[in-house]
Amino acid sequence: MDIENGIKALSALAQGSRLEIFRLLVKAGPNGLAAGEVARQLGIAPNTLSTHLAILANSGLIRVRRASRSRIYAAQYDAIRQLLAFLMEDCCQGKPEVCGPLLDIVAGCGTLQRSCS
């Protein structure tokens, strides 16, 4: 990921509602959620949600597909991996113990509060 795309992705996430939407779609998995379901779960007005979804889609962090009359939004896991790699590419500087706990979290071992067992 180049710096311009990194800035675009981080800018898209730098707003509370968009960050909530993004996190919800990450939790939903690759099948995603219909826009109406996102609005219902987060209590966001449809017109406002539409703007937030467009910004996230433009950043490449989510994708949209049509299913009948619905628009289904899903996280773009490859783009998320690229963003994480971009953020971490200069990490460690020969000290893997610095990045170890972060890599465990990214690998799905838990949150910052939980450790892998």
Domain count, the chain: 1
The enclosing domain of 62 has a CATH number of 1.10.10.10
Is 74 within the bounds of a domain? yes
Mean pLDDT lowest for which of 42-51, 52-61, 63-72, 79-88?
A: 79-88
Give the pLDDT confidence of 18-55 residue by residue, as tens digits: 999 999 999 999 999 999 999 999 999 999 999 999 99
Is 60 within the bounds of a domain? yes
Is 70 within the bounds of a domain? yes
Is 52 within the bounds of a domain? yes
Report the chain's mean pLDDT, rounded to a whole number: 87
Is 84 within the bounds of a domain? no
**CA of residue 48 relative to chain centroid, distance:** 19
Is 39 within the bounds of a domain? yes
Is 45 within the bounds of a domain? yes
Could you tell me which residues are beta bridge partners of residue 33? Answer: 73
Closest to 8 (Cα-Cα) out of 78, 59, 56: 59
CA distances to 11, 39, 65 from 52, rounded to whole Å, are 12, 11, 16
What residue numbers bound the domain in which 60 lies? 3-78
Evaluate whether 62 touches 22 at the Cβ level (below 8 Å).
Answer: yes
Mean pLDDT of the 72-80 span: 96
User: Hey, CA dihedral for 11, 12, 18, 24, is it positive or negative?
Assistant: negative
